[in-house]
């Protein structure tokens, strides 16, 4: 079993932000959004014409843009602690013509500046592996989610061995530059195992079985707040 090796909590150099944004996340983001919407619509009991979703660790706002493209009834607030990521994200939102439906804000996900029970859905893709103590940010997500809303968190799954890390990097970052490959390698090593994430869900009074392995490199936590 590989030990967890932490990487920096905030990717806030210009190089990191640019390299992250130009990597091809399109298919991964499309699947993430489609999976969230499928789960969210299955439990939604609202007749409201507009719903607010919080995207925690929004990066360069690629997921909010994809989410608004797939569902015209949604507005998104995306938060991140990395200024350079948000700067590129603001540009992406303007380019997509979605500035009226997507707001970006710089804040610490471990201390979200929103009231409890605010959002119809809280989503997050690949922030947990950046957090030294993931329980801190997961607790915040559950607090700002309103009862009946959906928590939908997806992140990398830590491989069992160095050989597995190398295999995944070669498979999914084959055309990437050295810096991008190194970032992916570090992220895999900083990720949680399934049992670790299930323990966190249990500690927050959610059924640990709501955390599932959903690809060869991801786990997903999809749970309705009671």
Q: How far is CA 74 from CA 25, 41, 48, 90, 124, in A?
A: 21, 12, 10, 18, 16
Does residue 4 belong to any structural domain of this protein?
no
Does residue 6 belong to any structural domain of this protein?
no
pTM (two decimals): 0.92
Report the domain count for the chain.
1
CA–CA gap between residue 62 and residue 129 (Å, rounded):
19
Does residue 8 belong to any structural domain of this protein?
no
- Best CA proximity match to 220, nearest among 122, 121, 125, 120: 125
CA–CA gap between residue 223 and residue 204 (Å, rounded):
11
Residue scoring higher pLDDT (118 or 176):
118
Does residue 56 belong to any structural domain of this protein?
yes
Does residue 65 belong to any structural domain of this protein?
yes
How high is the pLDDT of residue 167? 98
Does residue 156 belong to any structural domain of this protein?
yes
Q: Confidence class of residue 219 from pLDDT cuts 50, 70 and 90?
A: very high
Judge whether residue 208 has pLDDT over 90: yes
CA–CA gap between residue 181 and residue 174 (Å, rounded):
8
126-169 pLDDT, tens digit per residue, is 999 999 999 999 999 999 999 999 999 999 999 999 999 999 99
- Best CA proximity match to 124, nearest among 222, 192, 226: 222
Judge whether residue 117 has pLDDT over 90: yes
Exposure of 209 in the CB half-sphere (CA atoms within 13 A): 0
CATH of the domain at 58: 3.40.50.150
9-38 pLDDT, tens digit per residue, is 766 666 676 666 566 578 889 999 999 999
Residue 79: which domain range? 14-40+47-224
Does residue 3 belong to any structural domain of this protein?
no
Does residue 9 belong to any structural domain of this protein?
no
Residue located via tokens 């079993």: 1
Q: How far is CA 137 from CA 4, 15, 23, 143, 216, in A?
A: 18, 26, 26, 10, 24
Judge whether residue 3 has pLDDT over 90: yes
């Amino acid at each position: 079993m590989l030990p967890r090796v932490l990487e920096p909590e905030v990717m806030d150099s210009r190089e990191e932000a640019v390299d992250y944004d130009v990597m091809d996340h399109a298919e991964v983001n499309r699947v993430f959004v489609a999976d969230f919407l499928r789960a969210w619509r299955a439990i939604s009991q609202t007749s409201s014409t507009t719903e607010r979703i919080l995207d925690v660790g929004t990066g360069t706002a690629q997921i909010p843009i994809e989410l608004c493209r797939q569902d015209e009834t949604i507005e998104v607030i995306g938060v991140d602690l990395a200024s350079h990521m948000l700067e590129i994200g603001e540009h992406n939102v303007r380019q997509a013509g979605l500035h009226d439906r997507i707001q970006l804000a710089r804040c610490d996900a471990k201390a979200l500046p929103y009231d409890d029970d605010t959002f119809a859905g809280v989503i997050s893709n690949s922030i947990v592996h950046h957090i030294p103590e993931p329980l801190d940010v997961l607790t915040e997500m559950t607090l700002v989610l309103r009862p009946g809303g959906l928590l939908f968190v997806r992140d990398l799954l830590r491989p069992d061995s160095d050989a597995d890390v190398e295999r995944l990097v070669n498979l999914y970052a084959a055309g990437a530059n050295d810096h991008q490959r190194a970032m992916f390698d570090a992220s895999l090593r900083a990720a949680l195992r399934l049992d670790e994430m299930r323990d966190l869900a249990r500690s927050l009074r959610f059924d640990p079985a709501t955390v599932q392995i959903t690809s060869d490199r991801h786990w997903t936590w999809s749970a309705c707040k009671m």
